[in-house]
Amino acid sequence: MTSTAPIGVFDSGLGGISVVHELVKDLPDEQVLYFGDSANAPYGTKTPEEVRRLAFSIVNDFVRKGVKAVVIACNTATSAAVDALREQFSIPIIGMEPALKVACDRGHGVPQHVIVAATPLTLRERKFAKLMSRFNADNVIYKQPCPALVEIVEHGQLDDRELVERTLHGYFDQYDLETIDSVVLGCTHFPFFREYFRRLMPSSTAIIDGNEGTVRHLRVVLEALGKLAPEGAAGGVSLSNSDTSERMATLMEQLLTR
């Protein structure tokens, strides 16, 4: 396997395109194969066993295509499948988790009030419970499942401002937002709502996602293995989806350039 081999990136649907945005920006010489499993979305309401089965099928296909690493651009699939995938495959498998550490570290010792917005499965899996246990003694952490936000992206409704704002108010009006220090976007679909979150939250509230940290970790891993694409290599992105409709192909292209 050469350093110019592609990187496989997958998600339950379209959210992982937000990770591809970051990857293209930070590693422009890399070839990226993106697969969205929109025909089986959402993952966040499935059982862990169902998600693992789908993830193994996708990674097997990537390996047949000769990828040098896989990024699970999905917090839910990471929670359910990353450990099993790493046991099965010898290539690097890069997962994601809600950027709770980043949010809590912002306080520099001052307790933080943090909302973690994610899918129901991410928030109830053992992996998140373990992450949360590192920080909830010294901070106030609220778990907020937001499954409808995934559906809005998958149905191409991001520009339906009334729908998006009504959905966000339905989830977040229960909180005294003036007391919230950070909102963690714990699903890769959610960075597409960043401007909506910014309008909803006080200006003092940070809005944090894990995309930058994930791509930074990928760079470190590839560099350590001598697998970073050489400078000036012909980088690019190839998009595919289990929903093979023309509507889905158009939507993926729109999100990639959004």
pLDDT, tens only, 133-185: 999 999 999 999 999 999 999 999 999 999 999 999 999 999 999 999 999 99
Q: 2-30 in b/e burial notation, b at 16+ Cβ within 10 A?
A: eebbbbbbbbbbbbbbbbbbbbbeebeeb
* Phi, psi (rounded to 5 degrees) for 148: -65, -25
pLDDT along the chain (258 residues), means of 10: 91 97 96 97 92 98 98 96 97 96 96 97 93 96 97 96 98 98 97 98 97 96 96 95 97 95
Measure Cα distances from 46 to 51, 104, 167 in Å.
7, 29, 21
Catalytic residues: 74, 187
List pLDDT tens digits, range 192-209: 999 999 999 999 999 999
Distance CA 219, CA 161 (A): 36
pTM for the predicted model, two decimal places: 0.94
Tokens of 170: 């339905």
